[in-house]
Structure 1
Amino acid sequence: MTSPLLKTPASGATATVRVPGTSANLGPGFDSLGLAVSLYDTLSITILDAPGLEFDLSGEGVADLPRDATHLVVKTMDVAWARLGYSRGGLRVTAQNVLPHGRGLGSSASAIVAAIMAANALVAVEDQQDKAWVLQLASELEGHPDNVAPAIFGAVAVSWQEGASFATAKVTPSDAVVPVVAIPNVELKTERARGMLPDSVSHADAAANSGRAALLMHALSAQPELLLAGTRDYLHQDYRAEAMPTSAALVSALREQGFAAFISGAGPTVMVLANGGEQAQEVLAVIEQLGKKATQQGQLGVSWRVLRLQVDLEGAKVEVQTGS
């Protein structure tokens, strides 16, 4: 029931948000680095005259998604509107899901960012907030900023936390950087992957990881031939390998051939940052060869969808249509 102390968005208005997929960590940048890529979820929210919820969901994962107030988009919008002094009336939620769920390409971050940006766009102009506010709330709800920051701003995001506040810096990578993803037909819940991490690591590993993260930023922006060295991780991938042995084996095989491969986010998707289009084509060919070899050896059970993508430089976009 709508509280008389809260405002409601104007009926008839529709906000449509397109949000890129993201890859977090990028090897050594655990919980701090993220990259926006050219896979997009699209969310449209229409304010209805009458109370209630309507859903039109299509694409990835829709068979398992709720169609009530427990849907992540609706829960997120409720939180955003409450922060803005509003409450939910009737909604029509239309979602076209392209990002695979539970694969390490930022599907939950995309939903959270889209919901917050839609909620913000549907309130009165004088109540709307900037993208720094979106980042803060999205990071609180997601738990960390590494996926939500590039989803909001695009390109490469270097994010950090000071007390209860989250911040990010946008870095535009070299035009030579070409993301290639190998998406397996199996999921891995982020909670399970996080549960496999140790409580502490050695000082040597921490120092080594710090150096590789710094090198990665240089490689991304200025010297992409150093991407292989820059994507070496010491903090999380080896500990999680047991949960995704096929993905870990693919990363190892690709790195042995000189490609900057790593686990995307919490996995199990594998990402390669290729140095130029020619190397990207080489990566595609090698993954195909490795897949054929595994099939010939009877190693069945995991198949891969392999995509050559682009770095998204703009981040989430929102458009609003007002009711007549």
Structure 2
Amino acid sequence: MIEQVTVIIPATSANLGPGFDCLGLALALHNRVTFTTVATPGLTIEATGLDAEKVPTDETNLVFQMANCLFERFGKRPSGLHIQQENNIPVGSGLGSSSTAVLAGLLGANALLGTPLTQAELLTLATAEEGHPDNVAPALLGGLVLGVMHGDQVHIEPLPIAAQQVAIVMPDFHLLTKDARAALPEKIGRQDAIFNASRLPLLIRALETADYPTLTLAMQDKLHQPYRLPLIPGMADAFTAAAAAGASGVALSGAGPSLIAFARDDHEEIVAAVTAVFQQNGLASRSWILPIDTTGTQLH
């Protein structure tokens, strides 16, 4: 086994507009996880940075659990292991924090073991853990990525996207992914399916060409956002405020509670307008103006 590896993984925004469970975007905000084999037997985990107090430091830690899956698969585990997690992506934010943990564990363990698994095999394992590829695929590869499930296999299609910045505002509201998923209807109507099917390719084209006027139409969705917006105080008004402040396209990031806004400029004005709406609804918020990450996960 090698003695140390550091995995650097970007945040992601999944479910982009009409791209429910299939379209995701990597953002230049990163978690860093370092694995070090040590002489002292046992496991130690240290978490620093944003929401570090929310990260378990025992064997329930998701990074360790995913790493241990590979250790058990190949029958090798370091007698002593130290995991250092440096968090810059908030937990439970809709920015892919759980996907960074899943990928960090798999890629870190794979590196310690001498890379027995390919990138495609690791992506399949990560997708199986997450249930869909729209967070783990862009986090691994960078940029804009379409993930298509066929059985238990996943087809990944990296897509061209113009260099740009996005505004992210995250209200201080705890929304469990399972609750966001439970809000969705069991069945959808034909017209709603057509609505999203027509907008997804339009969105992909608009992001590729930085066609901001078209984003307003292309970012529309009827599969998940109409059911999830009411769960977050002020979110519907925040969408309206973002558009009034200059956003061309606005969407929930992941299952929420974060909002992502696309615009040619005026990002600070958009953040201020959305923050004010959440404040009116009794919620503090965090915000970022981020470029797109085109590199994906890096190992050092």
Please give the TM-score of this superposition, normalised by the length of structure 1: 0.87
Q: Which region of structure 1 is more displaced relative to structure 2, 177-186 or 253-262?
A: 253-262
The equivalent of 1:235 in structure 2 is 223
Q: Secondary structure at the match of 2:187?
A: coil
**Residues 9-61 of structure 1 deviation map (CA, whole Å, 9 limit, x = unaligned):** 45xx0110000000001111000000000100000011122321112210122
2:169–2:275 contact (8 Å) kept in structure 1: no
Give the letter aligned to residue 41 of structure 1: N
Query: Partners in 1 of 2:148 and 2:233 — Cα distance?
Result: 30
CA distances 1:237-287 after superposition (whole Å, capped 9, x unpaired): 010122113223211332355521110000010001223xxx2xx232144
Q: Partners in 1 of 2:56 and 2:231 — Cα distance?
A: 27
Q: Which amino acid aligns with 1:207?
A: I
Partner of 1:69: 59
- What is the distance in 2 between the residues matched to 1:265 and 1:39? 15
Partner residue in 1 for 2:292: 311
Secondary structure (helix, strand or coil) at the match of 2:21 reads strand
Q: Which has the larger radius of gyration?
A: 1
Taking a change above 3 Å as real, the CA distance of residues 294 and 123 of structure 1, as seen in their structure-2 partners, is: closer
Q: Which residue matches 1:251?
A: 239
What's the CA shift string for 1:130-152, capped at 9, x where partnerless? 21111101111111111000000
CA distance in 1, matches of 2:277, 2:225: 24
Instruction: Give the corresponding residue for 1:186.
Output: 173
What is the aligned counterpart of 2:26 among 10, 25, 36?
36
User: Hey, what does 2:161 align to over in structure 1?
Assistant: 173
1:51 aligns with 2:32: no
CA contact (8 A) 2:238 2:278 kept: no
CA change 1:72–1:209 in 2 (3 A) is: same
Preserved CA contact (<8 Å) 1:248 1:263: no
**From 267, 274, 279, the counterpart of 1:283:** 267
Out of 149, 158, 162, the position equivalent to 1:161 is 149
Q: Is the 8 A contact 1:153 1:314 kept in 2?
A: yes
Question: CA separation of 1:202/1:227 partners in 2, compared to 1, >3 Å: closer, same or farther?
Answer: same
Residue 309 of structure 1: CA displacement? Answer: 0.4
Say if 1:26 and 1:264, in contact at 8 Å, map to a contact too: yes
1:145 aligns with 2:133: yes
Distance in 2, Cα, partners of 1:28 & 1:311: 19
State the shift of 1:63 in Å. 1.5
Residues 24 and 135 of structure 2 are in contact (CA less than 8 Å); yes or no, is this contact kept in structure 1? yes
SS in 2 for 1:17: strand
Q: Is the 8 A contact 2:18 2:222 kept in 1?
A: yes
Structure 2: tracts of 5 or more residues without a match: none
Q: 1:111 aligns with which of 101, 111, 123?
A: 101
3-state SS in 2 of match to 1:187: coil
Match for 2:292: what amino acid? Answer: V
Q: Specify the SS of the correspondent of 1:110.
A: helix
Query: In structure 1, what residue type is equivalent to 2:87?
Result: N
Q: Give the residue type in structure 2 aligned to 1:263.
A: L
Calculate the aligned-residue CA RMSD, in Å: 1.8
Please tell me whether the aligned partners of residues 26 and 293 of structure 2 are also in contact (alpha carbons under 8 angstroms): yes
Instruction: Give the counterpart letter for 1:228 in structure 2.
Output: T
Looking at structure 1, the residues matched to 19 and 55 of structure 2 have their Cα atoms a distance apart, in angstroms, of: 31
Letter matched to residue 122 of structure 2: V
1:208 correspondence with 2:195: yes
- For the residues of structure 2 that align with 1:310 and 1:106, how far apart are their CA atoms? 16
Is the 1:259–1:283 Cα contact (8 Å) retained in structure 2? Answer: no
Q: Is the 8 A contact 2:166 2:267 kept in 1?
A: no
1:301 aligns with 2:282: yes
Name the counterpart of 1:266: 255
**Alignment partner of 2:14 out of 21, 24, 41:** 24
Task: Describe the shift of the 1:91–1:185 C-alpha distance in structure 2 as closer, same or farther (beyond 3 A).
Answer: same
Return the alpha-carbon distance in structure 1 between the equivalents of residues 237 and 281 of structure 2: 14
2:204 is matched with 217
Q: Which amino acid aligns with 2:225?
A: Q
Separation (CA, whole Å) in 1 of partners of 2:242 and 2:273: 11
SS of 1:95's partner is: strand
Distance 2:117 2:291 in 1: 29
CA distance in 2, matches of 1:116, 1:15: 12
C-alpha distance in 2, partners of 1:233/1:14?
44
State the Cα distance separating 1:307 from its structure 2 match. 1.5
